[in-house]
Amino acid sequence: MTSPAPPTRPRPMPRTAGLALALLALPGLAAAAAPLTQVLDQGWQLRLAPGDTHATAHPQATRWLPATVPGTVQTDLMAAGFAAGPFVRDNEAAIQWVGLSDWVYRTTFTVDQATLARRHAELVFDGLDTFAEVYLNGHKLLSADNMFRRWAAPAKPWLHAGANTLEVRLYSPIRRLQPWLSRQPYALPGEFDSAFGDEPKGRQSAGYVRKAAYQYGWDWGPRIVTEGIWQRVHLDSWNALRVTGYHVAQQHLDDVTAQTRVQLDVQADAATTLPLDVRVLGPDGAPVAHLAQPLRIEAGRHTVEVPLTIDHPRRWYPAGYGAQDMYVFEVRLGDGDDVRYRGTREIGLRTVELRRDKDAWGTGFAFVVNGIPVFAKGANLIPFDSFPTRVGEAQMRQVLTSARDANMNMLRVWGGGTYLPDDFYAMADRLGLMVWQDFMFGGAITPYDPAYAGNVRQEAIEQVERLRDHPSIVLWCGNNEVQSGWLSWDDRKAFRQSIGPAEAARIEQGMRDLFGTELREVVARHAPGVPYWPSSPSEGGDGFANGLDAGDYHYWEVWSGQARPASAYLDVTPRFQSEYGLQSIPSIRTIRAFAGAGDLKLDSPVLRAHQKYDSGNGNARLAMYVHREYGQPKDFPALVYLSQVMQAEGIGLAAEHLRASRPRSMGSLYWQLNDVWPAISWSSIDYYGRWKALQFHARRFYAPLLATALREHGTTQVTLVSDRTTPVQARWRLRVMDFAGRVISEQQHGVTLAPLAATPVGSFGDAQLADADPRSRFAAVDLLVDGRSVSRSLVFFGAPRQLALPQPHIHAGWAPSGDGYTLTLDTDALAREVWLSFGQVDAQISDNAFDLLPGEPVSLHVRSAAGLDVLRRALRMQDLASAMQKGTP
Q: Is 490 helix (H, G, I), strand (E, B) or coil?
A: helix
In whole angstroms, give the CA distance from residue 759 to residue 547: 26
Confirm whether 683 is domain-assigned: yes
Q: Where are the alpha helices (DSSP H) in 122-274?
A: 173-182
Confirm whether 24 is domain-assigned: no
In whole angstroms, give the CA distance from residue 136 to residue 134: 7
pLDDT band, very low/low/confident/very high, at 13 (cuts 50, 70, 90): very low
pLDDT, residue 15, reads 33
Confirm whether 23 is domain-assigned: no
Instruction: Label residue 321 exposed, middle or buried (CB < 10 Å: 0-12, 13-18, 19+).
Output: buried
* Residues 78, 181 within the same domain: yes
CATH number at residue 420: 3.20.20.80
Domain edge (last residue) among 657, 675, 702: 702
* Residues 830, 788 within the same domain: no
Domain edge (last residue) among 754, 770, 804: 804
pLDDT score of 451 more than 60: yes
In whole angstroms, give the CA distance from residue 356 to residue 344: 36
pLDDT tens, residue by residue, 841-887? 999 999 999 999 999 999 999 999 999 999 999 999 999 999 998 64
**Helices then strands (H, E): number in the chain?**
19, 46
Which one-letter DSSP state was computed for residue 420?
A: P
In whole angstroms, give the CA distance from residue 224 to residue 95: 7
- Identify the domain containing residue 260 by its residue range: 239-347
In whole angstroms, give the CA distance from residue 727 to residue 516: 41
Q: Which residues contact 623 (CB under 8 A, 6 or more apart)?
A: 602, 639
Domain edge (last residue) among 347, 366, 397: 347
Kindly state the greatest CA–CA separation across the chain. 93
* Residues 268, 164 within the same domain: no
pLDDT tens, residue by residue, 658-690? 999 999 999 999 999 999 999 999 999 999 999
CA 680 to chain CA mean position, Å: 18
Separation in Å, CA 402 to CA 67, 616, 671: 33, 29, 15
pLDDT tens, residue by residue, 488-505? 999 999 999 999 999 999
Share of residues in the chain with pLDDT > 70 (%)? 96
Confirm whether 15 is domain-assigned: no
pLDDT band, very low/low/confident/very high, at 33 (cuts 50, 70, 90): low
Q: Report, as an integer, the average pLDDT of 377-383.
A: 98
pLDDT tens, residue by residue, 517-564? 999 999 999 999 999 999 999 999 887 799 999 999 999 999 998 999
pLDDT tens, residue by residue, 715-741? 999 999 999 999 999 999 999 999 999
Q: Is 288 helix (H, G, I), strand (E, B) or coil?
A: strand
Q: Are strands 788-796 and 777-785 parallel, antiparallel or unpaired?
A: antiparallel
Name the residue among 415, 420, 419, 374 with its Cα closest to residue 538: 415
Confirm whether 446 is domain-assigned: yes
pLDDT, residue 544, reads 79
pLDDT, residue 336, reads 86
* Residues 247, 338 within the same domain: yes
Judge contact between 226 and 323, C-beta under 8 A: no
pLDDT score of 656 more than 70: yes
Q: What is the overall mean pLDDT for the chain?
A: 94
Name the residue among 617, 443, 453, 431 with its Cα closest to residue 546: 443
Separation in Å, CA 474 to CA 68, 258, 419, 435, 470: 35, 18, 15, 6, 9
Domain count, the chain: 5
* Residues 796, 838 within the same domain: no
pLDDT score of 19 more than 70: no
pLDDT score of 813 more than 60: yes
Strand order in the sheet with 272-281: 287-297, 272-281, 327-333, 341-347
Q: Is 559 helix (H, G, I), strand (E, B) or coil?
A: coil
* Residues 243, 372 within the same domain: no
* Residues 728, 810 within the same domain: no
In whole angstroms, give the CA distance from residue 399 to residue 383: 11
* Residues 708, 698 within the same domain: no
* Omega prior to 471 cis, within 30 of 0: no
In whole angstroms, give the CA distance from residue 24 to residue 16: 15
pLDDT tens, residue by residue, 197-223? 999 999 999 999 999 999 999 999 999
* Residues 736, 644 within the same domain: no
CATH number at residue 872: 2.60.40.10
Q: Which H, E and C letters describe 77-99, residue by residue?
A: HHHCCCCCCCCCCCHHHHHHHHH
Confirm whether 18 is domain-assigned: no
pLDDT tens, residue by residue, 749-762? 999 999 999 999 99
Q: Which residue has the higher pLDDT, 583 or 562?
A: 583
In whole angstroms, give the CA distance from residue 66 to residue 69: 10
pLDDT, residue 254, reads 96
pLDDT, residue 543, reads 77
Name the residue among 350, 253, 251, 256 with its Cα closest to residue 311: 256
Confirm whether 594 is domain-assigned: yes
Q: Of all helices (H) and strands (E), which one includes residue 427? A: helix 422-431
CATH number at residue 218: 2.60.120.260
Confirm whether 2 is domain-assigned: no
Q: Report, as an integer, the average pLDDT of 385-394.
A: 97
In whole angstroms, give the CA distance from residue 213 to residue 676: 13
pLDDT, residue 9, reads 36
Name the residue among 249, 246, 256, 247 with its Cα closest to residue 310: 256
pLDDT, residue 617, reads 96
Instruction: Label residue 498 exposed, middle or buried (CB < 10 Å: 0-12, 13-18, 19+).
Output: exposed
pLDDT, residue 12, reads 36
* Residues 360, 474 within the same domain: yes
pLDDT score of 627 more than 90: yes
pLDDT, residue 772, reads 72
pLDDT score of 26 more than 50: no
Judge contact between 265 and 315, C-beta under 8 A: no
In whole angstroms, give the CA distance from residue 247 to residue 167: 34
* Residues 823, 752 within the same domain: no
Q: Is 305 helix (H, G, I), strand (E, B) or coil?
A: strand
* Residues 272, 198 within the same domain: no
pLDDT tens, residue by residue, 78-135? 999 999 999 999 999 999 999 999 999 999 999 999 999 999 999 999 999 999 999 9
Give, to the nearest 10 degrees, the angle between helix 636-660 and helix 693-701: 20
Q: Where are the alpha helices (DSSP H) in 358-413?
A: 393-405
pLDDT, residue 170, reads 98
pLDDT tens, residue by residue, 320-369? 999 999 999 999 999 988 899 999 999 999 999 999 999 999 999 999 99
Residue 736: beta bridge partners? 745, 779
